[in-house]
Chains A and B, each alone.
Chain A
Amino acid sequence: ETGVTQTPRHLVMGMTNKKSLKCEQHLGHNAMYWYKQSAKKPLELMFVYNFKEQTENNSVPSRFSPECPNSSHLFLHLHTLQPEDSALYLCASSPTQDERNTIYFGEGSWLTVV
């Protein structure tokens, strides 16, 4: 147990559905991240929040909408996704957004878009 919990672990959704991925960290960290892991682009950074403020949006399509209500929680809202969005979505946290800090990953949410 790393202290970063993601739910759900598996999600199957249609292209017209709206769903959300949830991440919670119990490590007292102030930076949280969403990564997409697929066969084509392993560990692709999507979003970064530092002290609840979004500091990075790596040209992610607007059908992915992040939300960070506080430093412990991070959501990824999904709407009108495409089959190519099927991947493992990893949440992570670190003490602050500093590249020298260890990143602690959650177990991931497997997303299948049908």
Chain B
Amino acid sequence: GENVEQHPSTLSVQEGDSAVIKCTYSDSASNYFPWYKQELGKRPQLIIDIRSNVGEKKDQRIAVTLNKTAKHFSLHITETQPEDSAVYFCAAPGGYNKLIFGAGTRLAVHP
């Protein structure tokens, strides 16, 4: 089955800096990679996703890159703000129409 590893587990940055979270997956047939954000005490919500036919996707300050050869994908947040502080989860298809989530990265953005 699919195995999704996410690094780092915690990340602390200064406001305005960039943050990068990386995930690796094992199934070369995987073709859809979403990222979810979970603020403290809130539910996880989809923030961006990428499909295997593109290498990069951007939405304002967030972007996701995909390297199918190396089987990894990354979330990039530029000009970080305190409201970006949350836990971020990557995910990849885990066979038969289900997603396997990474262990999560706790991002802290300090003013």
| Interface positions of A (Cβ within 8 A of B) | 2, 4, 41-43, 45, 48, 50, 55-56, 90, 97-100, 102-103, 105-108
Contacts and interface: CB of A to CB of B under 8 A. Distances in A.
Q: Is the interface of B mostly helix, strand, loop or mixed?
A: strand
Given A42-B103, A43-B89, A98 B97 contact: yes
Interface of B: 32, 34, 36, 42-46, 49, 51, 87, 89, 93-94, 96-101, 103-104
A107 B42 CA distance: 6
Contacts, number: 49
Nearest to B89: A43
Given A41-B103, A48-B98, 19 more contacts: A2-B45, A4-B43, A42-B103, A42-B104, A43-B89, A43-B104, A45-B98, A45-B100, A50-B97, A55-B96, A97-B98, A99-B32, A100-B93, A102-B34, A103-B36, A103-B46, A105-B43, A105-B44, A107-B43
B41 to A, nearest CB: 9
24 contacts: A2-B43, A42-B89, A42-B101, A43-B44, A45-B100, A48-B98, A55-B96, A55-B97, A56-B98, A97-B97, A98-B97, A99-B32, A99-B94, A99-B97, A99-B98, A102-B46, A102-B49, A103-B46, A105-B44, A105-B45, A106-B43, A107-B42, A107-B43, A108-B43
